[in-house]
Structure 1
Amino acid sequence: MWFLYLLSWFATFVQVCLVTLALAAGLYYLAELVEEYTVLTGRIIKWLLLLTAGTYIGLILFEDLPYYLTLAGLLSTGFYSLLLMNFPFIELMSPIFILSCVLVFINHYLAFRYFADVWHPFSEVLAFFTICLWLVPFAFFVSLSANDNVLPTTHKHSDSKGNEDIVTSYFNKRSKRSGILSLFDKVKDSVLPERTKRF
């Protein structure tokens, strides 16, 4: 009996590793798609914002959720929409981005507090968290590295002699990734070191 119990713990560990690997591969693929299709990604995020705002309005009209929960969600949706004004360029130190991140935590706190006090079926709680709290921030999180692939519009000379052209400057800057893809590249380099070819 003890052997099967140990085997179940080992199988659980293997399953968690496989799910984590699949999630990482999916996130990497999504980040690559976002880098390739930034205009389409901006439109998709705009539609996700409209879906989330419509969901909050539907919750106000048809459900008896407290107003502080739904109005805080609508306020955060408004701040998320301000991030689309310069999409795909997202300044991580801009006040709008920082306030959006703070609102994500405030919305989660309010939702956890409400659903801890008032019982709802798990499917309803999961639907609220997925549509109202996770969908749009996740889309922005995946698209953080999208501005790495945008063509330059102005040129700044980084060389003291000024002999670097705009294309060289773009490709030098482009090699330095930021966001989720840079995280995956660092993990890939540390886990799978580059092999040298033998002749």
Structure 2
Amino acid sequence: MWFMYVLSWLSLLVQVAFVTLAIAAGLYYLAELIEEYTVATRRVIKYLIWFSSAVQAGLFLFERFPALLVGTGLFTNLVYFGLLQTFPFLVLSSPNFILSCVLVVLNHYLAFQFFAEEFFLFSEVLAYFTFCLWLIPFAFFVSLSAGENVLPCTVQAGDDVVSNYFTKGKRGKRSGILLIFSFLKEAILPSRQKIY
């Protein structure tokens, strides 16, 4: 009896390891795609924001969600549109980015408060969190490294594009989330070297 119990825990650890590797590989692939196709990524994020706004409106009209919860969600989506103005460059110290982070926390607080008072199935709560709270911030998070490898194309006030480009160090090196995924890939699956 105890032997089967130990085997079940070992199999659970193996399954968690496989799921973790699959998620890491998927995120790495997504980050690569986003880096290559920043214009298409911007368009996809814009459509995700519109979809999330439509879901919020539908929840208000058909499910009678509170106006404060839906209004905060719609305002957050409006702030996300502001982040798209400079996409793929996201300045982490900009007021727009900081406001979006604060609104994400506020949205989660209001959602937890609402779902603690009202009964919904777990799948319904998960659907709300997925489409209204997690999808767009996750898309921005995965695309954080996309702006680091884009060639400069416009001059902002006080910037010299060429000198700014060369003073930031080597552009061929990866940074951000791709650096983390590359490190994890090499740590877990080291590449083989040819012996001559």
Is TM-score (shorter-chain normalized) higher than 0.5? Answer: yes
Unaligned runs of 5+ in 2: 154-160
Letter in 1 for 2:39: V
Residue 170 of structure 2 is matched in structure 1 by 173
Q: More displaced, 141-150 or 23-32?
A: 141-150
Cα drift, residue 66 of structure 1: 1.4
Aligned partners of 2:54, 2:5: CA distance in 1, in Å?
48
Helix, strand or coil at the partner of 2:162? coil
Cα drift, residue 195 of structure 1: 5.7
Q: How many residues align?
A: 189
Equivalent residues of 1:151, 1:170 under 8 A apart: no
- Check 1:12–1:194 CA distance in 2 against 1; reply closer, same or farther (3 A cut): closer
Helix, strand or coil at the partner of 1:60? helix
TM-score by length of 2: 0.88
Are positions 1:41 and 2:22 aligned together? no
Equivalent residues of 1:144, 1:178 under 8 A apart: no
Letter in 1 for 2:4: L
Letter in 2 for 1:100: S
Residue 14 of structure 1 is matched in structure 2 by 14
TM-score by length of 1: 0.87
Aligned partners of 1:18, 1:196: CA distance in 2, in Å?
25
Letter in 2 for 1:54: A
Residue 156 of structure 2 is matched in structure 1 by none
Cα drift, residue 111 of structure 1: 1.0
Helix, strand or coil at the partner of 2:174? coil
Over the aligned positions, Cα root-mean-square deviation in angstroms equals 2.0
| 1:25-36 to 2 correspondences below 5 Å | 25-36=25-36
Q: Deviations over 1:35-65 (max 9, x none)?
A: 0000000000000010011111111111121
Equivalent residues of 1:152, 1:170 under 8 A apart: no
Unaligned runs of 5+ in 1: 158-165
Residue 101 of structure 2 is matched in structure 1 by 101
Equivalent residues of 1:42, 1:84 under 8 A apart: yes
